[in-house]
Amino acid sequence: MKTRLNKFLSECGIGSRRKVEKFIKEGRIEVNNKIAMEFSVTVDPETDVVKFDGEVLRREKKVYYLLYKPKGFITSLKDEKNRRLVTELVKTNHRIFPVGRLDYNTTGVLILTNDGEFSNYFLHPSNRIVREYVVSLDKPLEEKDRNKLISGIFLDGKKSIFLDLKYLKKSQRIVKATTNEGRNHFVKRMFQQLEYKVVELERIRFGPFDLRGLKIGEYRIIPETEIRKIANM
C-alpha cells in the first residue's frame, strides 16, 4: 500500500514530520535513485527503495524512552561544536531523536523515540500538552509580577500566560511554572519580559510523563501501553 513520503520517513525514525520535510527540501531523500523534492510523492514500502543521505530506510519497531536529561547535553542529532548529544545517554540499536528541545544546561523530562507521528502529535500546539518546570530566578518573584504572568503578558506579539505559578521556597526565588506552550525558550523569555533572569531550569513533567523513579542521567523504556493512553494516539 502506498503512503506519503513524509509519513513514511517519519515512520523510519529519522525525525518528526516537520524535520523530514526539511530533509526533502534539502534534497537528501532519494526514491528509486532519484532525488525526491515534493512532499506529495507517495511510496510503496514493499517495492520502492528510499534512501536518506545514501542509506536505505526501512520502517522500524516503535520505541520510546523517558530520559532525565542532565546539564551539558544538547537535544540534537549532531553538533558543530562537538558537544555531547542526549542520544548518547540511551543504549539502543534504534535510530532515535528527541521530542522537542531542552536547552544545553536545562535538565528534566525528555522523551526520545523513533516515532515521528507520536512526536508530531505531542509537539503540535493544538494538542496543548502541559509542561511543568521548576524555575530558579536571580531575585524573588514579586506577587504583582506573578499575577501578571498568570493573567497574561505580550510575547512574540501575542498574549501569553502561565497556567499556574507557585512559590516553592519562602525566598520566592524558586517557583513551579505550568504551561502548555512549546515555543522556544518560552519560560525564560516570559520571565525576561519582567526583568527576571532564569538561572536554573528543570522540566519536571511533560504531558503524563514525570521524573519519578529516575536519577539524573537515567532513563526508562516507556511501554506502548502508556503511549496508547494518550488521547488520539
Per-residue pLDDT band at 113 (split at 50, 70, 90): very high
Catalytic-residue membership of 103: yes
Decide which of 3.30.590.20, 3.30.565.10, 3.40.50.150, 3.30.70.1560 is the CATH code for 130-206: 3.30.70.1560
pLDDT at 209 over 70: yes
Give domain 3-56's CATH superfamily: RNA-binding S4 domain (3.10.290.10)
- DSSP string covering 31-90, please? ETTEE---TT-EE-TTT--EEETTEE-------EEEEEEPTT-BSSS--TT-PPBGGGGS
210, exposed or middle or buried, with CB in 10 Å at 0-12, 13-18, 19+? middle
Is 3.30.420.40 the CATH classification of the domain at 64-125+209-228? Answer: no
What 8-state DSSP symbol labels residue 207?
T
What 8-state DSSP symbol labels residue 115?
-
The residues of the chain that CATH labels 3.30.70.1560 are 130-206
Tens-digit pLDDT profile for residues 37-61: 888 889 988 899 999 999 999 877 8
pLDDT at 141 over 60: yes
Quick one: pLDDT at residue 61?
85
pLDDT at 115 over 70: yes
Measured CA distances, 53 to 23, 50, 105, 123 (Å): 9, 10, 31, 26
Nearest C-alpha neighbor of 128 from the set 184, 229, 207: 207
Q: What average pLDDT score do residues 170-187 get?
A: 96
pTM, full prediction: 0.79
Task: Choose, from 48, 103, 164, 210, the residue flagged as catalytic.
Answer: 103
Per-residue pLDDT band at 231 (split at 50, 70, 90): low
**pLDDT averaged over every residue in the chain:** 92
Q: Taking a C-beta distance cutoff of 8 angstroms, is the pair 4, 40 a contact?
A: yes
The residues of the chain that CATH labels 3.30.70.580 are 64-125+209-228
pLDDT at 1 over 80: no
- Which DSSP helix (H) or strand (E) runs through 118? helix 116-123
Helix (H, G, I), strand (E, B) or coil at 151: helix
Q: How far apart are CA 135 and CA 198, in angstroms?
A: 7
Q: What is the distance, to the nearest Å, from the Cα of residue 195 to the centroid of all Cα atoms in its chain?
A: 27
The residues of the chain that CATH labels 3.10.290.10 are 3-56
Per-residue pLDDT band at 232 (split at 50, 70, 90): low
Nearest C-alpha neighbor of 66 from the set 29, 18, 16, 118: 118
Tens-digit pLDDT profile for residues 13-40: 787 778 888 999 999 999 999 999 888 8
pLDDT at 169 over 60: yes
Q: What average pLDDT score do residues 136-145 get?
A: 98
3-17, 102-116, 182-196, 205-219: least confident range: 3-17
Q: Taking a C-beta distance cutoff of 8 angstroms, is the pair 145, 194 a contact?
A: yes
pLDDT at 225 over 90: no
